[in-house]
A and B are shown apart, each in its own frame.
Chain A
Amino acid sequence: MHQEWTDRLSDYLDGELPADERDAVDEHLRSCASCAAVLNDLKRVVARAASADARPPQADLWRGIAARLNERGETARVVPFAAREARRFAFTLPQLAAAAALLIAVSGGVAWQFAARLGGQVRDVRSAELQARPDAPAASVAGAEGTGAADFARVENVSMADAQYDAAVADLEKALKAGRGSLDASTVAIVEHNLQIIDQAINQAREALAGDPANSYLSGHLVEARRRKLDLLRRATALASETD
């Protein structure tokens, strides 16, 4: 057996040798029975390893695992994106459920208020500012007539790209500010309170995304919160215009 040759046998066996070295090993193996025997042994070791059976543990480990899960309260565990070290925010399941319920309540409550005020006939009323903006988002300057459902469709057509979205929100906020005098105080208070809640949700989602940019849940959460803000502003603006 020649160590200078056997040292290369694993690479030879794994196809890791350059062609010239492989040819040299081939030639040596043809004339060296001891090195050829080592190669055969190595082949058997590799084959044995590849066919190694998986054996279960002698004891059932599940009880210990379950105990640890329950000890840590893992049944109501922290959401996965809390696991990364770089993460800045972590939400528990109850917190997420509360946030989702809040958003639903916000949009539902506002819709109820407006529906009550308008007798169920929510029309899309554009602001003068939006009409004057040639570069305003298509959805924001869409046709002035429509049902509530059509309004939603147009809101959803607004791009969630930052620049376009911010422009639409700025226009609507300006229109709402101009028309808030036509709304009663309680409606203004509800709208402002709900906008504040949505803004908080948007800011939290943005900050969490900064620490976990690939998190699809957070991305969806942000898009939805932004959509709801746009929706609320459009409804409030429409209401203000309607009651002028």
Chain B
Amino acid sequence: MTAVMTLSGEIPAGNGLDSDVALAAGGDQSAFERLYRTHVSRIHSLTRRMLSTQEADEVTQDIFVRTWQKLGQFRGESAFSTWLHRLAVNVVIERRRSFAIQRERMSDDPTALDGLTVGPARADLKVDFESAIGQLPPGAREIFVLHDVEGYKHREIAVMLDIATGTSKRQLHRARMLMRQHLSGD
């Protein structure tokens, strides 16, 4: 493999970096298409879970266009997949904020769990998991996806969403209890 000179410097191929990343950073659209095909499932799943099936296609496209524009900023300090994923999360959060719904969704209502009836546990969690996520209220939904599906910590989520860590914890518990209810068929 050979090093590739990009506008922001030389990215050494084969030095922990995917050569397609280096090629794409140098303007190679074919290499970028290969990156797209490698990562699109995870990115689309993220957008679908945090937003909706209807929005997921458009936002996924936005994410990859943004990725192409910002590839020159990728320094190889983390895995490309990690960098891409964080960029994707930021795009999704921007999308949500653009609809001016973040504040309402993040309200830290102490009565949020009031009225939630949780029945006895069922034998299996058979109901479609993706559908259950889609039924979560927006605030709880994005924190559940970020924490339990994507593996972010509460302190990271708090920074991303500009909320208190305690709010993130409470919304996560709310989401898990609702998921339990959905998945057990109550």
Contacts and interface: CB of A to CB of B under 8 A. Distances in A.
B7 interface: yes
A66 B40 contact: no
A222 to B, nearest CB: 14
Interface string B13-45: 000000000000001010001001100111011
Contacts of A6: 118, 177
A68 B149 CA distance: 30
A199 interface: no
A7 B174 CA distance: 9
B70 A68 contact: no
A42 B176 contact: yes
Interface of B: 7-9, 27, 29, 33, 36-37, 40-42, 44-45, 48, 56-57, 60-61, 64-65, 68-73, 113, 118, 120-121, 125, 129-130, 144, 148-149, 151, 154, 169, 172-173, 176-177, 179-180, 183-184
Contacts of B69: 74, 77-78, 80, 83
Contacts of A44: 125, 180, 183
A170 interface: no
A21 interface: no
Contacts of A75: 27, 29
Nearest to B27: A75
B33 A56 contact: no
Given A55-B130, A62-B40, A80-B7, 12 more contacts: A37-B121, A41-B121, A42-B177, A45-B176, A46-B148, A53-B45, A57-B60, A61-B57, A76-B27, A79-B7, A217-B7, A217-B9
Interface stretch (A8-16, A143-151, A156-164, A228-236): A8-16
Interface of A: 1, 3, 6-7, 9-11, 16, 34, 37-38, 40-42, 44-46, 48-50, 52-57, 59, 61-62, 64-66, 68-69, 74-81, 83, 93, 96, 215-217, 220
Contacts of B129: 48-49, 52
A10 B176 contact: yes
Contact of A40 (B68, B121, B176): B121
Contact of A61 (B27, B60, B144, B172): B60
A7 B113 contact: yes
Nearest to A9: B173
11 contacts: A3-B113, A10-B169, A40-B121, A48-B125, A53-B45, A56-B41, A57-B40, A61-B36, A61-B44, A62-B40, A74-B68
Given A9-B173, A42-B176, A55-B41, A66 B29 contact: yes
Contacts of A217: 7-9
Contacts of A40: 121
Contacts of B45: 52-55
A41 B184 contact: yes
Those 7 A-B pairs whose CB atoms lie nearest each other, nearest first: A80-B72, A49-B148, A10-B173, A54-B41, A79-B7, A54-B42, A56-B41
Contact of B44 (A55, A74, A216): A55
Contact of B57 (A41, A57, A74, A77): A57
Contacts of B172: 10
Contacts of B29: 66, 69, 75
B177 to A, nearest CB: 7
